[in-house]
Structures are given as C-alpha cells and as structure tokens.
Amino acid sequence: MDLDVKIREYQEKDLERVLELVRELESELAKKFKDIQIKSGIEDYRDRYLKMGNKYKTLVAVVDNKVVGYLMGYPSLGAPEVDNMYDILPVSPKWITPEFFLQITFVSKPYRNQGISTKLHKEIIEYARQQGHKEVYACIAKWNTPEIKVISSLKFKLKDLGYRYRLTLKL
C-alpha cells in the first residue's frame, strides 16, 4: 500500500514535531556511535534553524496529518566555514548564490524505505531550480549509505573526499 505523503514547507506549528524527529535522530546516532558523546542540536534547531525568516529552507513530509520527516537546506556561498557564519544573507535580494546546500534529511524509522526521502529531495531540487541556483550539493558521510543511495538515484555526481562524499547536481 502506497502512503499518501504530502511535502510542504515547514510551518511554525510543526516545531515540536520536528524537534521530536531531531531527538529520534540523535538517539539513533548515539546507538550507532556508542563511544562518542552526541551533543544535542535541539536548541540550535529551536533557536536557529527553524526560525522563520532566516536562510534555512525546511520542507516536511506529512502522512495522516503527522510530520514524519524533514529536509533542510540553504543558499550556499560554497564554503561551509563561511556558510556557518551567517543566517541571513546581507546582500541584494536580486543576488542568488550559485549553490544550494542540502544540510540534513531525516525520516522517522517506521516511514523509511517508502520513497519519502526521495520526494523531499525532488521538491527541494525543484525549489532550488526555481530560485535560480545553478547547483545543489550535499556532503555525506560514507557510512550513511541510505542517503547516498537516495541522492545518487537523483543523478547527483559523486566525488570521494576521503571520509565523506560530495554529491552534486547541476541545474
């Protein structure tokens, strides 16, 4: 049976549910990397990433009126260390960065392997295209094979960076 999945823009009313998904993600990472202390990102999500009016574009996947996944990205200046220094681009509204960076995607475990991540990615790619970006990219750890598989299926080109891949799609 196919799920009826709706992809839409994040809304403020989604905050608590997205934070639940972040907790689920952090719990999974803590189990996967038992010897590493995972620093919670809840406050960063609440106070930075999910604030309305900033650079972050977040889409959510909704099944039966429940947010079951999200994808977050942003216009990129091409250097993560610079991108991390700003939340609002201090430039003319007519200027579009050439790149759009896919920061994170997460789908709750019961909803995985049902095409939700692919739908989120297709929607954000179309958004980036409509905004005038020339390229969409992600940097993904080599151990994250499910995400690599999804992005590769969308014709992103893979470049080996040693411990992770950069996957790029020219628009």
Dist CA 56 CA 76 (whole Å): 10
pLDDT at 1 over 70: no
pLDDT of residue 91: 62
Q: Distance between CA 7 and CA 63 in Å, rounded?
A: 9
Q: Mean pLDDT lowest for which of 3-7, 94-98, 118-122?
A: 94-98
CA separation for the pair 66, 103 (Å, rounded): 22
What average pLDDT does this structure show over 76-104? 80
Q: Determine the pLDDT at residue 39.
A: 81
SS (H, E, C) 65-100: CEEEEEEEEEEECCCHHHHCCCCCCCCCCCCCCCEE
How many alpha carbons fall within 13 Å on the CB side of residue 41?
Answer: 18
Say what the pLDDT of residue 20 is. Answer: 97
Separation CA 159–CA 139 (nearest Å): 9
State residue 108's pLDDT score. 98
How much is the pTM? 0.92
pLDDT for the residue 120 = 98
Among residues 73, 55, 61, which one has the least CA distance to residue 138?
Answer: 73
Residue-level pLDDT at 68:
98
Distance CA 70, CA 49 (A): 12
Q: Is 27 a residue whose pLDDT tops 60?
A: yes
| Helices of type H across the chain | 15-32, 42-44, 80-83, 116-131, 145-153
Architecture of the domain delimited by 5-170: 3-Layer(aba) Sandwich (3.40)
Worst-scoring range by mean pLDDT, 29-38, 66-75, 142-151?
A: 29-38
